[in-house]
Amino acid sequence: MRIGELSRVTGVSLRSLRYYEVKGLLAADREENGYRIYNATAIERVNTIQFYLRLGFSTDEIEGFLNCVMKNKEAFCEEILPMYEQKLAEIDRQLHQLGQIRSNLVERMEAIRREQESKASGQ
């Protein structure tokens, strides 16, 4: 199939499909005129790429285990679990940081509201 069809079937833009090729995630043969041709397995491959992107993995990270998880079940790939653990730690760091910011925001908001009330009550 050509790139337009692959885009329609997967819902991924032409731009992104070409980008995945540049990043080494998605190979394509070429017709004589230079058009990319994909075999049927490309659909699942693109879906898999999107799956990992939504999990917060970068294309560079995905490149490290995509071939393995496409050939085997995820659990068979030894490199995948450490990647998950590392990504989880990253997410937890971000959650912690956002939580800190949130606390500070809420604290300031409460202080402002207290000041406004004390002013309104003629205090």
Partner DNA sequence: ATAAACCCTAACACTAATGTCATAGTCAAC
Partner DNA sequence: GTTGACTATGACATTAGTGTTAGGGTTTAT
- The answer to whether the beta carbons of residues 26 and 42 sit under 8 Å apart is yes
Query: Residue for token digits 């819902």?
Result: 11
Q: Does 4 bind its own copies (CB under 8 A)?
A: no
Other CB atoms within 10 Å distance of the CB of residue 106: 10
Return d(Cα 68, Cα 9) in angstroms, integer.
24
Q: Is 27 in the site for its own copies (CB under 8 A)?
A: no
Among DNA, its own copies, none, the one that 5 touches (CB under a kind-dependent 5 to 8 A) is DNA
**Applying CB under 7 A, does 90 fall inside the site for DNA?**
no
The answer to the question of residue 70 lying near its own copies (CB under 8 A) is no
Residue 112 contacts its own copies per CB under 8 A: yes
Q: What are the Cα distances from residue 58, in Å, to 11, 47, 48, 53, 87? A: 19, 15, 13, 6, 10
User: Residue 32 carries which DSSP code?
Assistant: T
Cα-flanking dihedrals φ and ψ of residue 29, to 5°? -75, 170
Kindly state whether residue 94 participates in binding DNA, applying the rule CB under 7 A: no
Residue of 24, 27, 33, 72 that binds DNA (CB under 7 A): 33
Distance, in Å, from the CA atom of 66 to the CA atom of 26, rounded to the nearest integer, reads 10
**Using CB under 7 A as the criterion, which residues of the chain lie in contact with DNA when the complex forms?**
2-5, 7, 12-16, 18-20, 23, 28, 31-36, 53, 58-60
**Using CB under 8 A as the criterion, which residues of the chain lie in contact with its own copies when the complex forms?**
54-56, 73-75, 80-81, 84-85, 87-88, 91-92, 94-95, 98-99, 101-102, 104-106, 108-109, 111-113, 115-116, 119
